Amino acid sequence: MANDPAPEISTETATDPASHPLVVFTPSGKRGRFPVGTPVLTAARQLGVDLDSVCGGRGICSKCQITPSYGEFSKHGVTVADDALTEWNKVEQRYKDKRGLIDGRRLGCQAQVQGDVVIDVPPESQVHRQVVRKRAEARDITMNPSTRLYYVEVEEPDMHKPTGDMERLIEALDAQWDLKGVKTDLHILSVLQPALRKGGWKVTVAVHLGDENHPPKIMHIWPGFYEGSIYGLAVDLGSTTIAAHLCDLKTGEVVASSGIMNPQIRFGEDLMSRVSYSMMNKGGDQEMTRAVREGMNALFTQIAAEAEIDKALIVDAVFVCNPVMHHLFLGIDPFELGQAPFALATSNALALRAVELDLNIHPAARVYLLPCIAGHVGADAAAVALSEAPDKSEDLVLVVDVGTNAEILLGNKDKVLACSSPTGPAFEGAQISSGQRAAPGAIERVEINPETKEPRFRVIGSDIWSDEDGFAAAVATTGITGICGSGIIEAIAEMRMAGLLDASGLIGSAEQTGTTRCIQDGRTNAYLLWDGSVEGGPTITVTNPDIRAIQMAKAALYSGARLLMDKFGIDTVDRVVLAGAFGAHISAKHAMVLGMIPDCVLDKVTSAGNAAGTGARIALLNTKARSEIEATVQQIEKIETAVEPRFQEHFVNASAIPNSAEPFPILNSIVTLPEANFNTGGGDGNEDGGRRRRRRRG
Amino acid sequence: MANDPAPEISTETATDPASHPLVVFTPSGKRGRFPVGTPVLTAARQLGVDLDSVCGGRGICSKCQITPSYGEFSKHGVTVADDALTEWNKVEQRYKDKRGLIDGRRLGCQAQVQGDVVIDVPPESQVHRQVVRKRAEARDITMNPSTRLYYVEVEEPDMHKPTGDMERLIEALDAQWDLKGVKTDLHILSVLQPALRKGGWKVTVAVHLGDENHPPKIMHIWPGFYEGSIYGLAVDLGSTTIAAHLCDLKTGEVVASSGIMNPQIRFGEDLMSRVSYSMMNKGGDQEMTRAVREGMNALFTQIAAEAEIDKALIVDAVFVCNPVMHHLFLGIDPFELGQAPFALATSNALALRAVELDLNIHPAARVYLLPCIAGHVGADAAAVALSEAPDKSEDLVLVVDVGTNAEILLGNKDKVLACSSPTGPAFEGAQISSGQRAAPGAIERVEINPETKEPRFRVIGSDIWSDEDGFAAAVATTGITGICGSGIIEAIAEMRMAGLLDASGLIGSAEQTGTTRCIQDGRTNAYLLWDGSVEGGPTITVTNPDIRAIQMAKAALYSGARLLMDKFGIDTVDRVVLAGAFGAHISAKHAMVLGMIPDCVLDKVTSAGNAAGTGARIALLNTKARSEIEATVQQIEKIETAVEPRFQEHFVNASAIPNSAEPFPILNSIVTLPEANFNTGGGDGNEDGGRRRRRRRG
């Protein structure tokens, strides 16, 4: 994926400069002398300059657009005269008149070299163009899709050389595009002969370029020159939602994004309950396989409609998912994943046909599933590894994909470790008394004044804090309905900082804290965040069981990370990347106060958004990235937390807020956490934290 | 396919003869010294001796049975003592007690070398065993099927090395069988985990071994050791009938053969009328595709029932057919094959999945179609070339597959030419006044006494001639219903030899011939072969239009062959092979009197039976033969008779009986053909033979 530095290839030899002008390409810097009359595209090809062409130099596709520069270029040691390229010929002029060309642009296949010239290849004319990613630390995606379009002219049949039409098409692909050993999908044979004749023996074909195990194959054929594009899907198949990006395989652009709820939810909210469903119900796994595939097809119809393209133009799809979803999508009973030793049916990447998975896109569409790292660390984690590339990081990075099951990667270019940890659904607002999914009306940001112990907050859908003017109006439509994952993190961290919560996770009473917002709640206390009862809305409190649930979740997360740090032999990490939609909304400081993540310089804690989805998109657009991540996953060292003796110890330590054993020096240099102990000797102390049975998966 | 001469591989070095006894294998002659205690199977493998094993030396499969020889072998320079092999161990003894072993046989994996020994590997213990073909001139088939069974022991899953079960199975195939880069079919993933656990981590898998374009793939899995076999189909898809052989892929044995009428007959009797049907009826080609695939499935059900095997054990199928059937079977509109330049959609061999062709055999079964040679010379002709191997012949051989369209091959190891010629259906009894398909009751052999001009004949279903005692009783059930293809050939040839028919093809009158069996029939005459009217049966005559139909057919056949001889630059061939069911019943002498085939020594004219079906069987059992015939077909020079100027001239000459231009010296040395001319100046002479519009295809 990295941009290779351009080698200074040169064919400058002892040729006569007058008859062989110098051609310098930018940005590659590649240069060489060519006979007067050489088309710019030809010169580019001979120098190995990355200049695109679909029509093979026939002035039809305009993919080879270049920008000649005129005047003096001391850097290149060349002066470019106004007549350095030929005048516009008929083909080029007709193209410009009919389709238009940006000022200064020429068609590389038509414009011929007449004198020394400097030629710029704009990004959109490069085959392996870069798809720029927004985040500063993320590397751009190099375009190298599985399937490309080729325009070819096919020899007509001859009784004396009775080869098939397909064989002559394949010969043409070899001769005109240097594509070797091309084969065909069967369905092409039914449409080949009419297409060739309708196109006057000129056709455009979509060729899947294959890999070391598969020869290139013709997937589609259009009579004449096909001006449209072909598309691919990057799909993040989650337990709760299925999200897809539809990408243009010519440009790399995302043309539509869409998502649906995973229809398997009716068989169980979380993964473990789906595994149970398949154990309890004969054929239950097949029901769930059908459901997810049907959902997938509904999503694809929806996304194609949104982009206003024909679904049959989708020729490739990449899927990332956790192991249970992976198995259910493939039609494998996830039974074995529900019990030690958590044996995957298959862990390697899979290259399949869409029809094998009952997906209604192009009849010959290909499907690629990223490899699974381990029984609990799925293809989604592999996709995060592809997107965030810890294996290419100079500094030591901890990548955490926060969900109901956290996948954790720790490493640098020398070594990468991976594990998963069963955080449960608390971070998504489940198991929380006033919890809800992140949706308008949910409290997402919380501050508590350490003096007054009074809270203020913001809800999703509004930028106004609850103590600011206009808040009531701003939330009039949505109401204040509950508290979402990031809100509960902030609330608990703020309570800890305000001295309302002790390190063991006990909320103080009104007497102990000096605020009436701490109210008795059975044998423990709760903190009143919002009393909506006056307006007939809900009363939102943070209860001690809520604290317990978050303690379990964050202790699982932290102890997984800490275990990897042990294995790596280090006590601190250089940076932390939070992946996942939830990770995108967590405040680094609050997460650290809670002890969710290891102590780290705050601005070295960043969010990668949906890194799994991004990994899927990278694998879709760049087939080289597929073999790269396959090799990387082989190298990743897998740690099974369930059988690691120190995991339990780390878990107990991490049950405290932030931690009963780790010092967190950086955190302590920013915030001072009040010493407090609200344990009155009886009742529901935190000492049960380590003993509670943890759920294996969420 | 040829039996490679065994190289004298030897590992006899300066090792101590006492501790390293000599092991000599027969029939290969391979020999070497091995440490005392070496299992015979191990010694065989190290020497590259072709000794089979499915269980990998675990004493389960008994595929490695060998026969030790004892006593003195001066030929090998070795004396074998009675204790040259170890005593029967428990495993071997248990196998013998339970399953039985032929006397003198041992299990090669259990019996260990103790002293010098001579070991015979019986044919059934060889992986690449020979399937013996009955005909003297045919080469045996070397077993090398696409799919083989392997018994493996798979490592159990380990949380600390979380590879998938499939990956560990693939590792086991590499470690235990040296199978590299094995992949899996998707459906295996759904059944893998239960199979591994049921078999106690021991399974048998069927692996399709792939080719240069496809990696080996696991197709099926059985828990534990699978004792059964797997099967393949060799299918000859003809315009009229579909015939299939079901072969055991372990032994090469044909376990059942069956045939059905091609259900496409309802769309048209001959190929051209099916092409027309598809032209006239929108979707007609698809109707015919459905019909032939449905028929195929019915046939497969029938043949599996006959062999009493599960259809799902059929993992491979090879198809041969003419180009129109080829296209219709693949779902390609045969439109282009109905008009010049007769462009095939594809001519190369095709490796497909059975599901792609809607065939209900094993869900992952593979399908192979032989290459087509040209627009009129199909995969059936390629199969004939594979079976009869003109490209490997030392002498110059003419191979003729006689059907409604004759495919003709001429060549030797230096060069092979091919063409097709539109003989039409006359050779199958169609277009003949008393003609019928070869079936009980049909006259198949005819003799006419040149003195008395009286005929005698035999009908299918009886060996008794019509002038012999018991004839009436013998034909009482079947009756005498008509005359089949071989019968009409003999009848006409006999009429010519008896002076009843002149060279131009005119039948003489009763006056001209002196027999009342020549009766007037409109403006021409007919010969009365059998008057069944007294018993209420049919009257069977050979009419002048019958003669005309046969003249057209045989002239087409001969002129095609003659054209190839021109192209080859020769006037005589060394031998003639008649392929096809019809070819099997033709008398060489009568065919030559008729001038169907070139002049040739009579015993050099042989029948190959259903050579196309045999070619399909060879390709099924020996995948190497597939690449061989693909290469051969590339080398075959194709001649399109329709555009060859001399074809017309040859056709006119060949309309005469036997020929108006060719001398037929060998024929003339055996028979004397009476000079006769029954042309009375008016009427339906033979001069129209050359002018009649010939049908392009039948």
The span from the CA of B95 to the CA of B59, in Å, is 7
Alpha carbon of B164: minimum distance to chain A alpha carbons (Å): 4
* Residue A463: count of CB within 10 angstroms of its CB: 9
Report the alpha-carbon angle B138-B143-B149, nearest 5.
160
Domain spanning B141-223: CATH 3.10.580.10: no
The segments of chain B whose pLDDT lies below 50 read 1-10, 683-698
The span from the CA of A392 to the CA of A411, in Å, is 9
- Closest alpha carbon to B382 in B639, B642, B630, B697: B630
With an 8 Å Cβ cutoff, are A640 and B333 in contact?
Answer: no
Phi, psi of B513 (to 5 degrees): -105, -15
How much is the average pLDDT of A260-287? 87
DSSP labels, A621-638: HBHHHHHHHHHHHHHSEE
For B262-312, what is each residue's pLDDT tens digit?
A: 999 888 877 888 888 988 899 999 999 999 999 999 999 999 999 999 999
Give contacts of A331 with chain B, Cβ < 8 Å. Answer: 186-187, 189-190
* Mutation choice for B interface testing from A187, A188, A190, A211 by most B CBs within 10 A: A190
With an 8 Å Cβ cutoff, are B164 and A352 in contact?
Answer: no
How much is the average pLDDT of A402-428? 89
Q: Confidence class of residue A667 from pLDDT cuts 50, 70 and 90?
A: very high
Q: Is A570 on the interface with B (CB under 8 A)?
A: no
The span from the CA of B84 to the CA of A669, in Å, is 84
Of all residues in chain A, the percent with pLDDT exceeding 90 is 73
The span from the CA of A542 to the CA of A527, in Å, is 5
Q: Confidence class of residue A13 from pLDDT cuts 50, 70 and 90?
A: low
pLDDT at residue A430, as a whole number: 80
DSSP labels, B612-681: HHHHHHHHHHBHHHHHHHHHHHHHSEE--GGG-HHHHHHHHHHHSSS-SS---HHHHHH--PPP-----S
Starting at the edge strand found earlier in the chain, the sheet holding B415-421 runs B605-609, B575-579, B397-401, B406-412, B415-421, B637-638
pLDDT at residue A682, as a whole number: 54
Q: Is B192 on the interface with A (CB under 8 A)?
A: yes
pLDDT at residue A270, as a whole number: 77
Terminal CA-CA length for chain B: 34
How much is the average pLDDT of A425-448? 88
Total residue length of chain B: 698
For A110-168, what is each residue's pLDDT tens digit?
A: 999 999 999 999 888 888 888 777 776 677 899 999 999 999 999 999 988 889 999 99
The span from the CA of B538 to the CA of B433, in Å, is 11
Let me know: does A429 contact A409? Beta carbons within 8 Å: no
What the block records as the tokens of A520 is 């008795």
Helix or strand (DSSP H, E) at B435: none
For A438-456, what is each residue's pLDDT tens digit?
A: 888 999 999 999 999 999 9
- Closest alpha carbon to A230 in A627, A621, A625: A621
DSSP labels, B447-463: EE-TTT--EEEEETT--
Nearest to B341 among A159, A186, A213 (CB): A159
Size of interface A-B (CB pairs under 8 A): 152
Domain covering A390-421+549-609+636-674: architecture = 2-Layer Sandwich (3.30)
With an 8 Å Cβ cutoff, are B163 and A344 in contact?
Answer: yes
Nearest to B213 among A183, A193, A372 (CB): A183
Q: Is A440 on the interface with B (CB under 8 A)?
A: no
Helix or strand (DSSP H, E) at A165: helix A165-177
pLDDT at residue A137, as a whole number: 66
How much is the average pLDDT of A634-649? 90
Query: Cα A91 to the chain's mean position, in Å?
Result: 42
pLDDT at residue A693, as a whole number: 42
With an 8 Å Cβ cutoff, are A332 and B184 in contact?
Answer: no
Question: Is the sign of the CA dihedral B435, B436, B442, B447 positive or negative?
Answer: positive
Nearest to A166 among B193, B345, B373 (CB): B345
Q: Is A358 on the interface with B (CB under 8 A)?
A: no
* Mutation choice for B interface testing from A330, A333, A344 by most B CBs within 10 A: A344
Which residue on chain B is closest to A335 by alpha carbon?
A: B193
With an 8 Å Cβ cutoff, are A372 and B157 in contact?
Answer: no
Q: Find residue A579's DSSP bridge partners.
A: A401, A609
Domain A141-223 matches domain A236-369 at the CATH topology level: no
Phi, psi of A463 (to 5 degrees): -100, 0
Alpha carbon of B345: minimum distance to chain A alpha carbons (Å): 5
- Fold of the CATH domain A236-369: Nucleotidyltransferase; domain 5 (3.30.420)
pLDDT at residue B188, as a whole number: 96
What the block records as the tokens of A162 is 């009775």
Nearest to A640 among B160, B183, B215 (CB): B160
Q: Confidence class of residue A57 from pLDDT cuts 50, 70 and 90?
A: confident
Domain spanning B22-125: CATH 3.10.20.30: yes
Q: Is B689 on the interface with A (CB under 8 A)?
A: no
Alpha carbon of B324: minimum distance to chain A alpha carbons (Å): 13
Does residue A611 surpass a pLDDT of 90? yes
The span from the CA of A639 to the CA of A641, in Å, is 6
Q: Confidence class of residue A18 from pLDDT cuts 50, 70 and 90?
A: confident
Q: Is A355 on the interface with B (CB under 8 A)?
A: no
Burial of residue B682 (CB within 10 Å: 0-12, 13-18, 19+) is: exposed
> For the stretch A206-216, what's the b/e string if a residue is b when 16 or more beta carbons lie within 10 angstroms of its beta carbon?
bbbbbeeebbb
Q: 């074809």: which residue's tokens?
A: B647
Question: Cis ω on the peptide bond leading into residue B658 (within 30° of 0)?
Answer: yes
pLDDT at residue A588, as a whole number: 93
The span from the CA of B239 to the CA of B270, in Å, is 7
Nearest to A163 among B162, B347, B356 (CB): B347
Give contacts of B638 with chain A, Cβ < 8 Å. Answer: 160-162
Let me know: does A538 contact A532? Beta carbons within 8 Å: yes
pLDDT at residue B137, as a whole number: 66
Output the CA–CA distances (angstroms, integers) from residue B635 to B348, B375, B631, B652, in the order listed.
Answer: 13, 16, 7, 31
Nearest to A193 among B159, B213, B345 (CB): B345
Collapsing DSSP to helix, strand or coil, B234 comes out as: strand
Nearest to B186 among A164, A214, A330 (CB): A330
Nearest to B345 among A164, A377, A638 (CB): A164
Q: Confidence class of residue A316 from pLDDT cuts 50, 70 and 90?
A: very high
Helix or strand (DSSP H, E) at A221: strand A217-223
Q: Decide the pairing of beta strands A130-131 and B524-531.
A: unpaired
Which residue on chain A is closest to B192 by alpha carbon?
A: A345
How much is the average pLDDT of A515-542? 91
For B412-439, what is each residue's pLDDT tens digit?
A: 999 999 999 888 888 877 889 999 888 8
- Closest alpha carbon to B189 in B209, B176, B162, B170: B170
Please state which CATH class domain B388-424+549-673 belongs to.
Answer: alpha beta
- Closest alpha carbon to A428 in A517, A479, A473, A489: A489
Which residue on chain A is closest to B323 by alpha carbon?
A: A164
pLDDT at residue A545, as a whole number: 95
Helix axes A485-497, A544-568, angle to 10 degrees: 90
Interface of A with B in 603-642 (CB under 8 A): 638, 640, 642
Q: 């993992």: which residue's tokens?
A: B315
Q: Decide the pairing of beta strands B22-26 and B117-120.
A: parallel
> For the stretch A560-575, what's the b/e string if a residue is b when 16 or more beta carbons lie within 10 angstroms of its beta carbon?
bbbbbbbbbeeeebeb
With an 8 Å Cβ cutoff, are B346 and A638 in contact?
Answer: no
The span from the CA of A613 to the CA of A242, in Å, is 10
Let me know: does B160 contact B172? Beta carbons within 8 Å: no
Does residue A380 surpass a pLDDT of 70? yes
Question: What predicted TM-score, i.e. pTM, was given to this entire model?
Answer: 0.85
Q: Decide the pairing of beta strands B202-208 and B217-223.
A: antiparallel
Which residue on chain B is closest to A157 by alpha carbon?
A: B343
* Residue B361: count of CB within 10 angstroms of its CB: 26
What the block records as the tokens of B573 is 């061939």
Give the CA radius of gyration of chain A: 30
Total H helices, total E strands in chain A = 17, 31
Let me know: does B585 contact B486? Beta carbons within 8 Å: yes
pLDDT at residue B682, as a whole number: 54
Please state which CATH class domain B232-369 belongs to.
Answer: alpha beta
How much is the average pLDDT of A344-358? 95
Alpha carbon of A309: minimum distance to chain B alpha carbons (Å): 27
With an 8 Å Cβ cutoff, are A638 and B157 in contact?
Answer: no
DSSP labels, B18-66: TTS-EEEEETT--EEE--TT-BHHHHHHHHT-----SSSSSSSS-TTEE
For A71-97, what is each residue's pLDDT tens digit?
A: 999 888 899 999 999 999 999 999 999
Q: 């060549």: which residue's tokens?
A: B411
The span from the CA of A698 to the CA of A424, in Å, is 5
Hey, what's the torsion of the CAs at B234, B237, B243, B248, to 10 degrees? 10
Interface of B with A in 146-185 (CB under 8 A): 157-167, 181, 183-184
Q: For residue A696, what is the DSSP state?
A: S
Q: Is B341 on the interface with A (CB under 8 A)?
A: yes
* Residue A163: count of CB within 10 angstroms of its CB: 22
* CB half-sphere exposure, A356, CA atoms < 13 A: 22
Query: Where do the domains of chain A lie?
Result: 22-125, 141-223, 236-369, 390-421+549-609+636-674, 426-548
